[in-house]
Amino acid sequence: MQRLLLASLSFLALAAASPAQAASVCVYDPAGRTGFMYKMAESWAINAASWGARVELRPYTDEATAVNDFTAGSCDGVMASGVRLQRYNPATYTVEAVGGVPSYDLLKPVLSTLQTKAAYTPMFDAGEYETVGIWPLGAVYVMVRDRSLASIGALSGKRIASLDYDKASALAISRMGGVGVSADLATLGPAFNNGELDVLFLPATAYTPFELWHGLGDKGGIITTPLLQVTYQVLIHDGKFPEGFGTKSRTWVAGDFDTAMKSIKAAEAEVPAKYWVKPTDSAQTELEGFAQKLRLELRDQSKAYDGRVLSLLKKARCNADPARAECAQSLE
């Protein structure tokens, strides 16, 4: 009996000392385990141990599949683009608002403020889900097969790729008077390169993997003013991670901003200088006005954008450039 009791106590001691069951996280990276997004996920997972969680990463090269598996409960968390995760948390998706953050210099304090200030913590709570990190993934630019289209007005009637799951791109194309062509990340590059599309909205980081020089050719160009900022977000199922995990994770991710930017800037540097097209002053003004109208419509009518985040983004823009026309208005 005594031996049995000692054996039972030993078993209980071993069980208590054993690490908790690992939380699984579906990680989207088009390059799989070798991509820079997956490398960021690995660093995050290592640090998660100090926040009370043991994490098991599962690589995916298809974003839709990663998110669908998360939704189905096959993974406790998922790492994917903010636009793909918009239906779970519109507040964190709003960081990607059209014209919301016109430079990387502004993006860093915006992401830091959102993720480290207690006042914004409620925005990360999305019911049964919680967003526990936002990294930058690069600015989205307007890419055209003909650089004479370097203004919003010139895009009327042009064939523009539209992602089915992105409310903002569909509305933007409609308001531009463009012709939306349904596409996904796998078909965007080939369609542009083959002439099936006149215009793309993509990060410059896609230039090399999508071989976009075929579509840009000798006449194409990339407008230097960012249309919006894409982000890489971590979303988890509520209750699958320790209490307080989200706050610790967001603080760490905010501090990892420069790691992501190194890869982004290196990829953007691969775009030949000849393709960058600086918009004229009138085209720039037109773009800013167009973006503001779009943000207001997506906030007020479709509820795709969160007004609290839009206000923060406007404050950041006006602090950096008080002469902007919007700074004298009270629209956002």
User: 315: buried, middle or exposed (CB in 10 Å: 19+, 13-18, 0-12)?
Assistant: middle
The fold of 19-138+229-268 is D-Maltodextrin-Binding Protein; domain 2 (3.40.190)
Question: In CATH terms, are 19-138+229-268 and 140-227+277-302 the same topology?
Answer: yes
**Class for domain 140-227+277-302, per CATH?**
alpha beta
Q: How confident is the model at residue 15 (pLDDT cuts 50, 70, 90)?
A: very low
Q: Is the pTM of this model over 0.75?
A: yes
pLDDT at 331 over 50: yes
pLDDT at 14 over 90: no
**What is the average pLDDT across 254-280?**
95
Give dist(CA 39, CA 32) in Å, integer: 10
**What is the average pLDDT across 201-230?**
94
Q: Cα 254 to chain center, whole Å?
A: 14
At 136-147, the pLDDT tens digits run 999 999 999 999
At 294-315, the pLDDT tens digits run 999 999 998 899 999 999 999 9
The token duo for 145 is 């097969």
Give dist(CA 194, CA 306) in Å, integer: 37
Question: Mean pLDDT across the chain, nearest whole number?
Answer: 91
Sketch the domain layout of the chain as residue ranges: 19-138+229-268, 140-227+277-302
The Cα-based distances of 226 to 107, 141, 222, 238, 259 in angstroms read 12, 5, 10, 34, 21
At 82-141, the pLDDT tens digits run 999 999 999 999 999 999 999 999 999 999 999 999 999 999 999 999 999 999 999 999
